[in-house]
Amino acid sequence: MIVDQGKVPLLDAQASYLAGCYWALVAGNITPNYADVWAAFVANEAAWGGYGRQLVGTMNAAALASSNGKAVAGPVTLPTFLNTTGSPQTFFMWALIDAGASKLIAWTNIGATVIPAGSNYVLNPLVTDTQL
């Protein structure tokens, strides 16, 4: 068992690995499962004009959330996803994928989210040391 005191340094130690990973958006409305793999979502990855995966980059220092005892960290620079099309675009989830775009690290279904035509969406994701 990883105790609360150990969660923050472990998540901080993962920051250099996470920096080389990518944020992606997925247009399919899918329920999370521990056995999910990135290959199952590639066909549902966002593909509208202006969309592109965003490099995670530098992570903020992890902190222990007092409400649930989880260590959490987010990126220093929030990923911004563009919609350069002439129509609104909908996505349901964000995914964190490895640098080779072959492994799913984490993902969350945030519900139907619309990016208006010609606008952008700033994602404010958090990575935690604990599943669900």
11-61 pLDDT tens trace: 999 999 999 999 999 999 988 788 889 988 889 999 999 999 999 999 999
Predicted TM-score (pTM) above 0.85: yes
Q: Where are the chain's structural domains?
A: 4-128
Residues 6+ apart with CB under 8 A from 45: 24, 25, 26, 27, 95
* pLDDT confidence tier of residue 115, bands split at 50, 70 and 90: very high
> Chain centroid to CA 80: how far?
12
Q: Which pLDDT does position 6 carry in this prediction? A: 87
Structure confidence at residue 131 (pLDDT): 58
* pLDDT reported for residue 75: 97
